[in-house]
Structures are given as structure tokens and as C-alpha cells.
Amino acid sequence: MIDLHMHSSCSDGTLTPEELAAAAADLGLEAAALTDHDTVSGVDRFLSAAAGTPLRAVPGVELASMLFNKDIHIVGLFLDPASGSLLSALDQMRLWREERNEEMVGKLRSKGYEITMEEVLEEAGGESVGRPHIASVLLRKGYFQDMQSVFNRLIGRNGSCHVLRKYFPVDICIRLIHEAGGLAIWAHPLHAARGARAALRKIGMRLANYGLDGLECYYSMFTDQQQADVLEFARARSLLVSGGSDYHGASHPQVKMGTGIDGNLAIPFEIYERLLAAKQNRDSHDSEKTS
């Protein structure tokens, strides 16, 4: 089995890249990808930790954007983490994150919550700092009992301290992944589209026009019907199929690496093989064009 959507402590996961690789290898996964939010800072560590084990480690990233007023996440797989254009864009994303985080923390302090950016940065411990780390600080201080309450009341889209996020357009995200030599995969598509099959088609067709390579058809929070709908759309559009748990570790304990929620995931190795073949075919084609 494989898992091509996992997060480490370099973004909002709880395991380090080394721990993530070791856990995947111990679990017997044949392939796994590190796809941290808006950072590739843990990729080299993840690859090094997997070296010498049977695990085929895939370098990746997850980029956030918007389309038709819906959150869209694009996972990049098999990319070069040293790509100059990607690293430059990630630097800009981090700057936007910092500005947004500071504004949200300022709003929280104005409402009487004792929280500082220093505490948020310490909570994060990595390059990609976001709302989950703000929520964790508030939880640790006893203001709330669970993370969802923090989002619902304060920092979620309808929360009193929410600040809109800046994004690169989704076509730019896809282009950045391609420039880094990667495959662009629409992550948890029905999750983003709130279960609407019409939205899946509308967004999916636009993304396909932008050069999208595939869809995450196997995902921890999909029902059997949602999985079938996404698979049907991918095959109808001749798009690649991918899948992953969206594993974060202890912060999302219901989601297990490789197996999802209550064992609802079992992503076959042939998915990895087809993605790798597509990556190699593109590399070969690009090489021929430049020779």
C-alpha cells in the first residue's frame, strides 16, 4: 500500500520528517510522499531518512489557492525541492502567512486573549506557520477545549478574528509544480467542493485546462460514493489517479497513516507506478524538446 499525502512538523504535522519516514517504513508502506503546506524544507530530511529502507519516498508539497470562491489545494509530487521558481514562490507565501498571522494575533489580543507571535512560532517549530498553531496555543492556555471551537468562534472563515488569506492563482500553482518537474494533483476535490458533483465537474474542467495532471481519488474523508465520483471524473478526463490519508499525526488522531479513518483507505502500489511512469514520460519528453 502507499500514502501520497502526509504532513510533518515542518508545516502542521506532529512528526518530524525523519519520524514520518520511519513510521511509514515500519508500517510497511511501499511508497509515501511528504506534502507539507507551502514548504519543502523537510523534503531532503524525509528522503534521507527513507534511504536504505524499502520505502520509496516521494518529494512533494501542498499549495493552497482559490477558484470560484472555493479553497483549492494542489499537491505536487515527484518535484525538485531545489527549484528556484518554487522556492521563490514559497518565500512569498510565507511572507503572506506571517502578515496574516500577525493580524489575527492582534485581533485576538484586542479581544483579551493572551497570545503572542513568539508563542505561535514556538508552537509551530517549522517554516509553515498557520491557524492550527494559533489554535494550539489557545488550547494549551485553556481558552477552549478543542480546535474546532477555536475555528468556529475565532479564526475560521466566519470567526470574529479571521483574516482573509492571500494566494497565488491556481494556474500559477500548477505551473510552479510543473516548473519544478512535478505532477500537479488536485487534493481532496470533493472535500473542497463540499460534496457537490456539479462543482467537481466545473472546477475539475477548469483545472484540467490549466494543465492539472490528476486527482486525489482516494482520501480519508471520502465516502465510497465520493471516491467513485472522483474516479469516474478522472477516468472520463484521462487524468491521473492519486491518493493519500492527509496524515498529520497526533493533531488529527482519527486519520491513520496509510489506512485513513477506520481503515477506509487501501491505495494499491500500481497508483504509484502509474504516477512515476507519467513523471518519467514527461521528463523524457522535456529532454527531447531541449536536445
In a domain, 30, yes or no: yes
Q: Which CATH number covers residue 9?
A: 3.20.20.140
8 A C-beta contact, residue 183 and residue 279: yes
3-state helix, strand and coil shares in percent for the chain, rounded to the nearest 5: 45, 15, 35
Number of structural domains found in the chain: 1
Q: How far apart are the first and last CA of the chain?
A: 37
- DSSP per-residue codes, 217-230: EEETT--HHHHHHH
Tally the C-alpha atoms within 13 A of residue 206's C-alpha that lie toward its C-beta.
Answer: 14
- pLDDT tens-digit map of 221-268: 998 989 999 999 999 999 999 999 999 999 889 999 999 999 999 999
Instruction: Show the domain range for 188.
Output: 2-89+182-290
Please give the model's pTM, rounded to 2 decimal places.
0.89
List the one residue out of 262, 261, 275, 199 whose CA is nearest residue 230.
Answer: 199
C-alpha cell belonging to residue 45? 530530511
Tell me which H or E stretch contains 64: strand 56-67
In a domain, 138, yes or no: no
Tally the C-alpha atoms within 13 A of residue 290's C-alpha that lie toward its C-beta.
Answer: 6
In a domain, 131, yes or no: no
8 A C-beta contact, residue 53 and residue 79: no
C-alpha cell belonging to residue 172? 500559477
- pLDDT tens-digit map of 137-187: 999 999 998 888 999 999 998 899 999 989 999 999 999 999 999 999 999
In a domain, 234, yes or no: yes
For 154, residues 6+ apart whose C-beta sits below 8 A from its C-beta are 108, 138, 160, 161, 162
Tell me which H or E stretch contains 183: strand 183-186
Query: Kind of pairing, strands 56-67 and 70-77?
Result: antiparallel
H helices of the chain, in order, are 17-27, 43-50, 84-110, 117-124, 131-140, 147-150, 170-179, 189-192, 197-209, 224-236, 269-290
CA 163 – CA 156 distance, rounded (Å): 9
Q: 287 in helix, strand or coil? A: helix
- pLDDT tens-digit map of 72-101: 999 999 999 999 999 999 999 989 988 999
List the one residue out of 9, 1, 4 whose CA is nearest residue 249.
Answer: 9
Q: What is the mean pLDDT of the chain?
A: 93
In a domain, 269, yes or no: yes
- pLDDT tens-digit map of 16-75: 999 999 999 999 999 999 999 999 999 999 999 999 999 999 999 999 999 998 889 999
CA 173 – CA 14 distance, rounded (Å): 26
C-alpha cell belonging to residue 103? 493580524
In a domain, 209, yes or no: yes
Amino acid at 49: A
* Mean pLDDT of all residues in 113-136: 86
In a domain, 6, yes or no: yes
For 77, residues 6+ apart whose C-beta sits below 8 A from its C-beta are 4, 33, 35, 58, 59, 60, 182, 183, 185, 242, 275, 279
Helix-then-strand count for the chain, H and E: 11, 7
In a domain, 187, yes or no: yes
8 A C-beta contact, residue 37 and residue 10: no
Q: 214 in helix, strand or coil? A: strand
pLDDT at 125: 75
